[in-house]
Structure formats: C-alpha cells, structure tokens
Amino acid sequence: MSASTKTRTPDDERRPSARSLRGLDGLNFLMADVRDGLGPYLSVYLKGAQHWSPGDIGIAMAASSLSAALCQIPAGLLVDALKAKRMLVAASGGAVALGCVLIAVFPHLMTIIAAQIMIGAASAIIPPALAALSLGLVGRRRIDARISRNESFNHAGNFVAAALAGTLGQWLGYSWIFYLVCAFAVGSAAIVNLINWSEIDHDLARGGAAGDPAGGTSPQHRPIAIRDLLTHRDLIVFLVSVVLFHFGNAAMLPMAGQVLAQTHPGWDTISLSGCIIAAQLVMVAIAWAVGKAMGAGYGRKTIFLVALAVLPVRGILFSFTANPIGVIAIQLLDGVAAGIFGVIAIVIAADVTRGTGRFNLAQGLVALSIGVGAGLSNLVAGYLVQWFGYPAGFLSLAVIAACALVFFALFMPETRDMRGRRAARTPAPAGATA
C-alpha cells in the first residue's frame, strides 16, 4: 500500500508508545521555563540591578508580548503546515536561549528590546507545537486528559525552575537566571527526540479528521478557509475574553516584583521565586483537578468563570500590601486562575475547531490574544504606576479583570457539547462530496 493511500489509526484506537508519552511529559516539564522567556525575572533584574524606570520596564516587558502577538497567526499556520513539529520546538527553544544570553551580556535598552522581540517570536511557536504534538499522538478522545497532564508537568517544571532561579539569583547573581533558561532549552532540544515521529497523525494534529485514507488530501479533509474560521462567533467571543483575561492579569506579578525590589532590596529575587513557587504548586493541583472536573461532566464555561472571578480579587489585594509574605499568599490566586486557563484554553480551541483542520491556527489566535492582552497590560500598567503609583496600577487591572468576567459570562456559550454541532455548521470545502 502506498503512502498516499495508507489508512490511519482511528481516533479512539490510538496507542502511542510509552517512550513518546515520556518524551511529551519531559518536553512540557523543560519547556516550562523556556516558552515564557525570563518572564517577571526580567522586571526584577531591570529594577533591582539596572535601576530602570517603571515606564522603560513596561516597554521592555511589552516588547516580547507584542512580538509574540504579531507572530501568533504565522506560527499557527506554520505548525499546521509542517510535519517537522519536533524541529520547530527545538529551534524555538534555541532562539529563546540566545535572547537570554544577549540580555545578560548586553543589558542596554535597544539590545534588550531586540532580544525580547526575538524571544517573543520564538515563544509564539512553542504552545501550538506542543498542543499539536499532543493531539496528533493521543487523538481527540484523550486530549482533555492529555492537556491536563501536560499542564501539570508544565507547572512542575516552572516550580523547579523558580526554585533554581531564586537560589542562583540570590547567591550567584542575576545573570545565572538567564543561563538557567539556556540549560532548559538545551534539555528540551534533546528530549524532543524521544517522541516517535511516525506515531504522530499530522492531519489530526492540525484539527482535521483521523483515519483519512487519503492522508488529509481528499476534499472533505482539507482545512476550511481562514475567513470561515474567523466568522465563527464563539471563537471570536472566546478570543476577546482571552485578551481581557491577560490585560487584567499579565502585569500583576511583574509589578509585585518591582514593589519587592523597591521595598526589600537584596531579597527581591528570592521573594519573587517564592511567589512563582507558591503559584506553581497550586497550578499543578489545579491542572489535575480541571482534568478530573471535565471528566466528571463539568462544563468548560463554568470552570473558566472560576478563573476569571479570582483575578479582580487578586488585583485588589495586591494594592494593599508590599509585605513579601502577603504578596506570596496573594499569588496563590494566580495559581488558580492560570492553572485553569492553561487547560481550558486549549480544550475550548479544540472544541470549536473540530473537523476544521485549523486547530493550530486557532491556537495561534489564542496566543495572539494572550500577547495583545499581556502587551497592553504591561504597557498601560507601567505608565499608570509611573504616574499614579502601584496601588492605582493594581486597582486598574482589577477593574479590567472584572470586565473580562462579565463579558465571558454574558456572551460565551458552553462548548463541551458543541463538537458535533460545530462540525455540522462548518461550511463544506469546495469540491467536497455530499
């Protein structure tokens, strides 16, 4: 039988090898510290070591987010189009590592902005590539549990990375945090080879149908037109919700890090690591709990509303304290919100794009929305803090987060049972048989 007529394994019969699944576990663990670059540690570094103003820090932080935003749609299309997804993951990790080295060696405004742009562009590829590898390996029937497991390993990786970053930053200096990201990137490039390329259904990985005997080339299995995807109301509502979620959330931890650097110099890195460690411990449990909740029949909308509800509370609490213990305790709420979002965002994208062949493009659109929201959050909050102080910055983000809660509650339907309806509503590609 030729490659062009090879029959694929039906979705409910997919059995990837233990080696490939271990590789996926390890990749999610190691990529945890790579796909977000330096994150809030850059804010602490620029405030505590380089003594930048909050406005300039906001520009540097926003550069990565906005770069990632601009690259999301090309990244999603690239992941949909190419079968070399393992290579994409490894190359993207290498670019993040290079950007971190540049920041450590040349800590100047233009160099850091350029490095942040490169990190943002590279990090745009990583989430859709990991989601595509997961879907292509396990299929839709098991994707809910797989994404929950991915996020648990991701948060465990963030926990370990934060513990190492805090220790290295406290005792050896800020620059070692940058080199830690590089080490994780090298490890990611090595462990991705554990995933068996032949076990990945590349048509299924892009949101197409499994078991297509024509290898995804027959008319009924071709991806739908991009314009058709962009007219899907439920996807648009969800993307707007994601923008508002991150607009109200992204700058909170970097701002808390700046407060710690200002009020507790010398202990800012270890305190920020405490924040991240506390949140990641919660995220590991939350990611596992979300998988169990979905398996028990709870709707995606209900679960995500919980995440949206805790954000305004977090912003209000941050405005009242600069105590390291208090900041760490408040950051536990981020563990709840981010732990839920990491799982639910991918699952909802899979729900609304089933049978479209555009799953990874939708992932790119979600990541674009994250980048736009995060960029706006850092940029707007940076100048609000510079003009009106940190409490005003936190309260402004809390108001935006409350708007996100109301918008999602009013306009987003439940997607758990819409997979069949979505497929029925999807326009048939030209040439498809009746």
Write down the pLDDT at residue 336: 92
Write down the pLDDT at residue 2: 40
Tell whether 11 is covered by a domain: no
Q: Comparing 3-7, 113-117, 390-394, which segment has the lowest mean pLDDT?
A: 3-7
From the centroid of its chain, how far is CA 34? Answer: 11
Residue 1 has pLDDT above 50, yes or no: no
Q: What is the CATH number of the domain that holds 135?
A: 1.20.1250.20
Q: Which value, to the nearest 10 degrees, does the dihedral of the CA atoms of residues 205, 209, 213, 215 take? A: -40
- CA atoms of 183 and 189, how far apart (whole Å): 10
- CA atoms of 14 and 291, how far apart (whole Å): 20
User: Please, which pLDDT band fits residue 268 given cuts at 50, 70 and 90?
Assistant: low
Tell whether 1 is covered by a domain: no
- CA atoms of 137 and 30, how far apart (whole Å): 19
Residue 243 has pLDDT above 90, yes or no: yes
Distances (CA, A) of 315 to 43, 265, 332, 401: 18, 23, 12, 8
Residue 337 has pLDDT above 70, yes or no: yes
Write down the pLDDT at residue 432: 39
Tell whether 13 is covered by a domain: no
Residue 363 has pLDDT above 70, yes or no: yes
Tell me what the mean pLDDT of segment 47-62 comes to. 76
Number of domains in the chain: 1
Tell whether 4 is covered by a domain: no
Residue 5 has pLDDT above 80, yes or no: no
pTM for this one?
0.68
**Crossing angle of helices 252-263 and 300-318, rounded to 10°:** 20
Mean of per-residue pLDDT scores for the chain: 80
Tell whether 141 is covered by a domain: yes
Tell whether 379 is covered by a domain: yes
Residue 292: CB atoms within 10 A of its CB come to 11
Is the distance from CB of 341 to CB of 290 less than 8 angstroms?
A: no
**CB-count burial class (<10 Å; 0-12, 13-18, 19+) for 299:** middle
Residue 88 has pLDDT above 50, yes or no: yes
What is the separation, in whole angstroms, between the first and last Cα of the chain? 27
| Domain assignment of residue 247, given as a range | 18-208+224-424
Tell whether 12 is covered by a domain: no
More confident residue, 252 or 426: 252
Write down the pLDDT at residue 219: 47
Tell whether 216 is covered by a domain: no
Residue 211 has pLDDT above 60, yes or no: no
Residue 183 has pLDDT above 80, yes or no: yes
Work out the angle at residue 44's Cα, subtended by the Cα atoms of residues 42 and 46, and round it to the nearest 5 degrees.
65
Write down the pLDDT at residue 13: 57
Residue carrying the six token digits 């850059």: 42
